[in-house]
Amino acid sequence: MKKNDVILQTVTKIVFFIILTFGVELFLSGHNNPGGGFIGGLVLSSAFVLLYLVYDIETVHRGTPFDFKRVAALGVLLAVGTGMFSLVFGEPFLSQKTWLVDLPVFGETELGTMTIFEAGVALTVLGVVVTIILGISEDVE
Protein backbone atom coordinates (compact mmCIF):
# COMPACT_ATOMS: atom_id res chain seq x y z
CA MET A 1 0.00 0.00 0.00
CA LYS A 2 1.42 3.34 -0.99
CA LYS A 3 1.28 5.78 1.84
CA ASN A 4 0.99 9.50 1.46
CA ASP A 5 1.83 11.22 4.67
CA VAL A 6 3.53 14.45 3.65
CA ILE A 7 1.75 16.48 6.28
CA LEU A 8 2.64 14.04 9.03
CA GLN A 9 6.27 13.98 7.95
CA THR A 10 6.52 17.76 7.76
CA VAL A 11 4.90 18.24 11.12
CA THR A 12 7.11 15.57 12.65
CA LYS A 13 10.26 17.32 11.52
CA ILE A 14 9.37 20.22 13.79
CA VAL A 15 7.55 18.37 16.53
CA PHE A 16 10.44 15.94 16.98
CA PHE A 17 12.69 18.73 18.19
CA ILE A 18 9.98 20.22 20.34
CA ILE A 19 9.49 16.90 22.08
CA LEU A 20 13.25 16.46 22.48
CA THR A 21 13.52 19.91 24.03
CA PHE A 22 10.59 19.14 26.28
CA GLY A 23 12.26 15.89 27.34
CA VAL A 24 15.53 17.60 28.19
CA GLU A 25 13.64 20.36 29.99
CA LEU A 26 11.69 17.79 32.02
CA PHE A 27 14.89 15.96 32.83
CA LEU A 28 16.75 19.07 33.97
CA SER A 29 13.90 20.59 35.93
CA GLY A 30 13.42 17.32 37.76
CA HIS A 31 15.57 18.47 40.62
CA ASN A 32 13.20 21.13 41.83
CA ASN A 33 10.03 20.67 39.78
CA PRO A 34 8.07 17.78 38.34
CA GLY A 35 10.19 15.77 35.96
CA GLY A 36 13.29 13.67 36.34
CA GLY A 37 15.27 10.96 34.66
CA PHE A 38 12.54 8.42 34.15
CA ILE A 39 10.00 10.79 32.64
CA GLY A 40 12.65 12.63 30.65
CA GLY A 41 13.87 9.37 29.20
CA LEU A 42 10.35 8.33 28.31
CA VAL A 43 9.63 11.61 26.55
CA LEU A 44 12.89 11.38 24.62
CA SER A 45 12.06 7.85 23.57
CA SER A 46 8.55 8.84 22.55
CA ALA A 47 10.14 11.40 20.23
CA PHE A 48 12.17 8.67 18.61
CA VAL A 49 9.17 6.37 18.45
CA LEU A 50 7.29 9.09 16.59
CA LEU A 51 10.17 9.41 14.19
CA TYR A 52 10.19 5.68 13.53
CA LEU A 53 6.44 5.65 13.03
CA VAL A 54 6.52 8.40 10.46
CA TYR A 55 9.64 7.51 8.54
CA ASP A 56 10.93 4.04 7.80
CA ILE A 57 13.62 2.44 9.90
CA GLU A 58 16.45 2.84 7.40
CA THR A 59 15.93 6.58 7.03
CA VAL A 60 15.96 7.11 10.77
CA HIS A 61 19.03 4.92 11.13
CA ARG A 62 20.88 7.10 8.71
CA GLY A 63 20.03 10.14 10.78
CA THR A 64 20.78 8.60 14.16
CA PRO A 65 23.89 6.52 13.73
CA PHE A 66 23.95 4.98 17.18
CA ASP A 67 22.83 1.69 18.59
CA PHE A 68 20.17 2.13 21.24
CA LYS A 69 21.36 -0.99 23.07
CA ARG A 70 24.61 0.87 23.63
CA VAL A 71 22.70 3.92 24.81
CA ALA A 72 21.04 1.75 27.43
CA ALA A 73 24.36 0.21 28.41
CA LEU A 74 25.88 3.67 28.74
CA GLY A 75 23.00 4.66 30.98
CA VAL A 76 23.50 1.69 33.28
CA LEU A 77 27.22 2.42 33.41
CA LEU A 78 26.53 6.04 34.37
CA ALA A 79 24.06 5.07 37.08
CA VAL A 80 26.32 2.42 38.61
CA GLY A 81 29.40 4.51 37.96
CA THR A 82 28.25 7.51 40.01
CA GLY A 83 27.66 5.10 42.87
CA MET A 84 31.15 3.72 42.57
CA PHE A 85 32.62 7.16 42.06
CA SER A 86 31.68 8.27 45.55
CA LEU A 87 33.69 5.34 46.90
CA VAL A 88 36.84 6.86 45.46
CA PHE A 89 36.36 9.90 47.68
CA GLY A 90 35.80 7.80 50.76
CA GLU A 91 32.05 8.36 50.84
CA PRO A 92 29.53 5.53 51.10
CA PHE A 93 28.27 3.91 47.92
CA LEU A 94 25.82 6.13 45.99
CA SER A 95 26.37 9.28 48.03
CA GLN A 96 25.30 12.33 46.04
CA LYS A 97 26.63 15.83 46.23
CA THR A 98 25.49 19.22 44.92
CA TRP A 99 27.42 22.38 44.31
CA LEU A 100 26.22 25.90 43.57
CA VAL A 101 28.13 27.20 40.59
CA ASP A 102 27.99 30.64 39.00
CA LEU A 103 27.70 30.02 35.29
CA PRO A 104 28.06 32.83 32.72
CA VAL A 105 24.63 32.64 31.08
CA PHE A 106 22.49 30.73 33.49
CA GLY A 107 23.51 32.60 36.61
CA GLU A 108 23.70 30.72 39.86
CA THR A 109 23.12 27.08 38.99
CA GLU A 110 23.01 23.93 41.01
CA LEU A 111 25.26 21.19 39.71
CA GLY A 112 25.07 17.81 41.34
CA THR A 113 26.12 14.25 40.90
CA MET A 114 22.45 13.36 41.11
CA THR A 115 22.02 14.86 37.66
CA ILE A 116 24.56 12.39 36.30
CA PHE A 117 22.78 9.57 38.05
CA GLU A 118 19.45 10.72 36.63
CA ALA A 119 21.05 11.03 33.21
CA GLY A 120 21.96 7.37 33.53
CA VAL A 121 18.35 6.56 34.32
CA ALA A 122 17.12 8.64 31.38
CA LEU A 123 19.53 7.07 28.91
CA THR A 124 18.67 3.56 30.06
CA VAL A 125 14.96 4.22 29.68
CA LEU A 126 15.51 5.75 26.25
CA GLY A 127 17.71 2.91 25.09
CA VAL A 128 15.51 0.13 26.40
CA VAL A 129 12.20 1.53 25.15
CA VAL A 130 13.51 2.23 21.66
CA THR A 131 15.30 -1.13 21.52
CA ILE A 132 12.15 -3.03 22.42
CA ILE A 133 9.92 -1.12 20.05
CA LEU A 134 12.44 -1.41 17.25
CA GLY A 135 12.96 -5.08 17.97
CA ILE A 136 9.28 -5.81 17.66
CA SER A 137 8.66 -3.58 14.67
CA GLU A 138 11.72 -4.68 12.69
CA ASP A 139 10.44 -8.19 12.96
CA VAL A 140 7.24 -7.19 11.21
CA GLU A 141 9.06 -6.34 8.02
Partner 1 sequence: MITVLLAIFIPFIAAGLVPFIHKFLTGSRIGWFVITIPLFLFALLIRLVPSLSEGASYLYTLPWIPSADVYFSTHLDGLSMIFALLITGIGSLVVLYSIYYLSEREAIGRFYTYLLLFMGAMLGVVLSDNLIVLYVFWELTSISSFLLIAFWYHRKQSRYGAKKSMLITVTGGIFMLVGFLMLYTITGTFNLQELVAMREVIAADSLFIPAMLLVLVGAFTKSAQFPFHIWLPDAMEAPTPVSAYLHSATMVKAGIYLVARFTPVFAGDTTWFFVVSCVGLLTMLWGSVNAVKQTDLKALLAFSTVSQLGMIMSLLGIGSLAFASSESTHIALFTAATFAALFHMINHSTFKGSLFMVVGILDHELGTRNIQRLGGLATIMPITFTIALIGSFSMAGLPPFNGFLSKELFFEATLSLKEANLLSMDSLVLLFPIVAWVGSIFTFIYCMIIVFQTFFGKVHAPVPGQRPAHEAPIQMLISPMVLGSLVVLIFIFPNLLGTYILGPAMNAVYPQFVGMPGLVPEIKVWHGWGMPIYMTIGVVITGVLLYCFLRYWKGIYSFGFLQWTLDRSYNALLQRVERVASVVTKTYMTGSVRDYVAYIMLFFIALVGIGLLGFQQFIFDFSNDAVIEINESIIIFVMMCSSVAILFAKSRITAIILNGVLGYSIAILFVVFRAPDLALTQIIVETVTTVLFLLCFYYLPEWRNEHKSISMRVRNGLIAVASGVVVTVIALLVQGHSLYPSISVYYETASRLAGGLNVVNTILGDFRAFDTMLEVLVLFIAGLGVYSLVKLRRKKGVDHPEEK
Q: Note the residues at the interface with partner 1 (CB under 8 A).
A: 26, 30-39, 42-43, 45-46, 49, 53, 69, 72-73, 75-76, 79-80, 83, 87, 90-94, 96, 98, 110, 112, 114, 117-118, 120-121, 124-125, 127-129, 131-133, 135-140
* CB closer to partner 1, 10 vs 33: 33
**CB-based contact 72:123 (threshold 8 Å):** yes
The smaller minimum CB distance to partner 1, of residues 16 and 38, is found at 38
Identify which of residues 12 and 45 has a Cβ nearer to partner 1 in the complex.
45
Neighbours of 116 (CB within 10 A): 15
CA distances from 62 to 19, 49, 65, 96 (A): 20, 15, 6, 38
CB of 14 to partner 1, least distance (A): 19
In angstroms, give the least distance from the CB of 10 to partner 1. Answer: 21
Helix ranges (DSSP H) in the chain: 6-29, 37-54, 57-63, 68-88, 113-140
